[in-house]
Amino acid sequence: MTIRNSIEPAAYLEVHGITKRYGRFTALNGVSFTVERGEFVSVLGPSGCGKTTILRVVSGLERQEQGAVRIAGRDVSALPTARRNVGIVFQSYALFPNLTAAQNVAYGLNASAGAREATARRVTELLRLVGLEGKRSTYPSQLSGGQQQRVALARAMALSPDILLLDEPLSALDAQVRLRLRGEIKELQRRLGVTAMMVTHDQEEALTMADRILVMDHGVVVQQGVPREIYEAPANPFVAAFIGSMNFLTGAQKLGEGFFELNGRRVQAAREPQPLAVGQKVSLGIRPEDVDLDKGGLAREEQFQARVSRLEYRGPSTRVTLVLTQTHPETRIEADLPAARARVLGLAPGDAVRLEFPAGRVSAYAAA
């Protein structure tokens, strides 16, 4: 999917040409993207890439130097947060410690005498949605981290926002709670049909929760697409290395359409994100789980000889660090073996193995 340079009128959230500077540092450099109604978009990138800044600009917590933000067809570029009708969930929960769960959710709802009954119904409905109906009288200090984040989520949804903004909502939670809560957030978003934008540095969160991912680096969007596209067809080496793990085999040279030479072996690559000329030096990328590995024997023409350097047991899989012995200098590469395959091979450090790189799983990038 290509990055959109123009604004599509049908989009529910339209971000166009946003530039934001802090002194001499440019946090956002002409960022443009759109989010459709009911879509869950994740903004993913390393620390300092600008992902939190773009969320703050969309929410109105930061004012951009250039560009425009439109929500549901309304230009909100100059409006304060209170007039943008956005719900925000922070990683620190930001609950009022002196208010109960129900009172936190009700905060901001109409508290006039005539509206009390409607407010009570709305609070009960939201607490039921997040599975905390029995905790309505409980204070934040008496709730677990996951429960506090559910209260924060219910509070953000209380005013029926046009867009739900989530700023690293799961980063403060332990692994098991994160795993459970990310499924609950996605299910709630889908059930309510709310448009959502989540900032995260966690690739697994983005891949499992988002309908579409925007990858940022140094203040710009470098790729956007559905999770499978981002993972399986990264646009450049940065995306390839940041999303999951990627082996890069340097020193290859393009022979012709889809074919490359690496230390006397011919390797076929299915993807060239940017056009490459015949004879050009390239790096070949393949993910560890795509490396075909077999024990012993002589390597065929399309295979590489290697030896096992290290084994890392990971439960469902084993990460095998290998050294290609036919490259100069010797090249390290990693392969992930499912547990059943690892048991069959019974590898040990020093073992000789044969590697093959399936053509459909190799990408070629211009050498740095």
pLDDT tens digits, one per residue of 206-248? 999 999 999 999 999 999 999 999 999 999 999 999 999 999 9
The three-class DSSP label of residue 354 is strand
**In 3D, which of 287, 273, 270 has the Cα closest to residue 360?**
270
Residue 153: what pLDDT? 92
Q: Between the CA of residue 311 and those of 68, 279, 306, 330, 349, what are the distances in Å?
A: 51, 36, 14, 18, 7
Residue 299: what pLDDT? 66
pLDDT tens digits, one per residue of 244-267? 999 999 999 999 999 999 988 899
Q: Pairing mode, if any, of strands 40-44 and 212-217?
A: parallel
Residue 325: what pLDDT? 87
Q: Between the CA of residue 55 and those of 15, 61, 198, 285, what are the distances in Å?
A: 11, 9, 8, 32
For every residue of 58-114, DSSP letters joined together read HHTSS--SEEEEEETTEE-TT--GGGS-EEEEETT----TTS-HHHHHHTTS--SGG
Contact 158, 123 (CB under 8 A): yes
CATH number of 13-239: 3.40.50.300
**In 3D, which of 97, 125, 90 has the Cα closest to residue 109?**
125
Residues forming CATH 2.40.50.100 domain(s) in the chain: 245-366
Residue 110: what pLDDT? 67
In the predicted model, residues of the chain with pLDDT beneath 70 are 1-10, 110-114, 298-299
- Compute the distance between CA of residue 320 and CA of residue 61 in angstroms, rounded to an integer: 46
Residue 5: what pLDDT? 44
Residue 66: what pLDDT? 97
Biggest alpha carbon–alpha carbon distance for the chain:
84
Residue 327: what pLDDT? 72
Q: Is the dihedral of CA 149, 155, 158, 162 positive or negative?
A: negative
User: Which helix (H) or strand (E) is 288 found in, with range?
Assistant: none
Residue 8: what pLDDT? 43
The pTM (predicted TM-score) of the whole model is 0.88
- Compute the distance between CA of residue 197 and CA of residue 35 in angstroms, rounded to an integer: 8
Instruction: Tell me which fold the domain 245-366 belongs to.
Output: OB fold (Dihydrolipoamide Acetyltransferase, E2P) (2.40.50)
Residues forming CATH 3.40.50.300 domain(s) in the chain: 13-239
